[in-house]
């Protein structure tokens, strides 16, 4: 899935661009040239860097390479990072596996949720 505005590429299952808040379109419908030519796709976005770190640890436990992109590039500082969007990227070849792991974790998190 691709954002027609900023051209970020997301894994299947994500339907809205986290940056632009607009609907993503399937890759086949995207006519332009991708500005992000890499193998990486966005697998998850969150305002909570700790949550993304946790997911990254889980994915790496499943031998999936991942990358964290934060809007703040400065050193890791929780108190200042509260309002910055953090993106978790995985290799396209790992996207399906990563999605399954993330969904599994989110399902469990919902079950455990306490107020
Ligand atoms: Zn976008």
Phi-psi label, residue 24: left if phi above 0, alpha if psi -120 to 50, beta otherwise: beta
Higher pLDDT, 36 or 89: 89
pLDDT in tens, 3-33: 999 888 999 889 999 999 999 999 888 876 6
| pLDDT tops 70 at residue 74 | no
What separation in Å is there between the alpha carbon of 12 and the centre of ligand 1?
Answer: 15
| pLDDT tops 80 at residue 79 | no
Q: Does domain 27-112 have CATH number 3.30.300?
A: no
Q: What is the pLDDT of residue 35?
A: 55
Q: What are the tokens at 31?
A: 């006519």
Q: What is the pLDDT of residue 88?
A: 94
- Bridge partners of 42? 10, 89
Residues surrounding ion ligand 1 at CB below 5 Å:
3, 5-6, 17, 19-20
Sign of the dihedral defined by the CA atoms of residues 54, 58, 60, 65, in that order:
negative
Q: What are the tokens at 67?
A: 């990358």
- Bridge partners of 2? 9, 25
45-50 average pLDDT score = 90
> What does the alpha-carbon distance between residue 106 and residue 46 come to, in Å, rounded to a whole number?
12
Q: Calculate what percentage of the chain has a pLDDT beyond 90.
A: 49
What separation in Å is there between the alpha carbon of 86 and the centre of ligand 1?
Answer: 14
> What does the alpha-carbon distance between residue 88 and residue 45 come to, in Å, rounded to a whole number?
6
Q: What is the pLDDT of residue 36?
A: 54
User: Going along the chain, which residue ranges are E strands?
Assistant: 40-46, 66-70, 86-91
Q: What is the pLDDT of residue 30?
A: 80
Q: What is the pLDDT of residue 39?
A: 81
| pLDDT tops 70 at residue 63 | yes
């Amino acid at each position: 899935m691709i954002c027609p505005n900023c051209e970020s590429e997301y894994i299947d299952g994500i339907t809205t661009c986290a940056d632009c808040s607009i609907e993503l379109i399937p890759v086949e419908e995207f006519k332009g040239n991708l500005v992000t030519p890499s193998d990486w796709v966005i697998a998850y976005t969150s305002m909570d860097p700790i949550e993304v770190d946790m997911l990254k640890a889980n994915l790496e436990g499943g031998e999936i390479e991942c990358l964290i992109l934060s809007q703040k590039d400065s050193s890791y500082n929780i108190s200042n990072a509260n309002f910055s969007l953090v993106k978790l990227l995985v290799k396209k070849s790992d996207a399906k596996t990563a999605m399954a792991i993330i969904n599994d974790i989110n399902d469990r998190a919902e079950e455990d949720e306490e107020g």
